[in-house]
Amino acid sequence: MDNSGKKTHPPNGDDAAQEAERRRIGKVVHDDRGNASVEWQDAPPDYKRPVLEIIEERPPEAQPGQPKGPHDPYQRVAAGEHKTGNTTRTDLRKLSEWIKLVRAIEEKKRNGGEDTDD
């Protein structure tokens, strides 16, 4: 068994009271490489910790043109609005025919205008 490590003793009655009354303030510091660490300092006896509270706020009334309800970052259309559906659709058959026609024209240009379809 290795006894070379730091030994910790459970606090007894008087030490426990001192430990409970001891207050420290943590401050984040950065070294020359930008690594963050916490530097602890003993708090003065008259130090008052800031109290953190959760304050419930009502959401502001929705302005005209703004979405109603909470923001959903995964929703493509704003809440309360509906997509009209007037998107242009591409006819892939016509696209394929157009690509073949363009390739045929390029091939004719490469062959010097000779017609190879006969």
Range of the domain at 25: 19-43
- Say whether pLDDT at 60 is over 90: no
| Residues across the chain | 118
The predicted pLDDT at position 20 comes to: 56
Query: Is there a domain that residue 25 lies in?
Result: yes
Residue 5 maps to a domain: no
Q: Is there a domain that residue 28 lies in?
A: yes
The answer to the question of residue 87 being in a domain is no
Mean pLDDT, all residues of the chain: 75
Whether 81 contacts 68, CB under 8 Å: no
In a domain, 23, yes or no: yes
Q: Is residue 33 part of a domain?
A: yes
Q: Judge whether 32 lies within some domain.
A: yes
pLDDT of residue 51: 86
Percent of the chain whose predicted confidence (pLDDT) is above 70 = 56
Q: Is 34 left (phi over 0), alpha (psi -120 to 50) or beta?
A: left
Look at residue 35 and tell me if it is in a domain. yes
Measured between alpha carbons, how far is 6 from 40 in angstroms, rounded to an integer?
Answer: 20
Number of domains in the chain: 1
Structure-model confidence comparison of residues 84 and 5, the more confident one: 84
Please write the tens of the pLDDT for every residue from 3-23: 555 555 555 556 656 655 678
State mean pLDDT over 35-40. Answer: 94
Q: What's the confidence (pLDDT) of residue 14? A: 62
Average pLDDT, stretch 74-85? 65
pLDDT for residue 13: 57
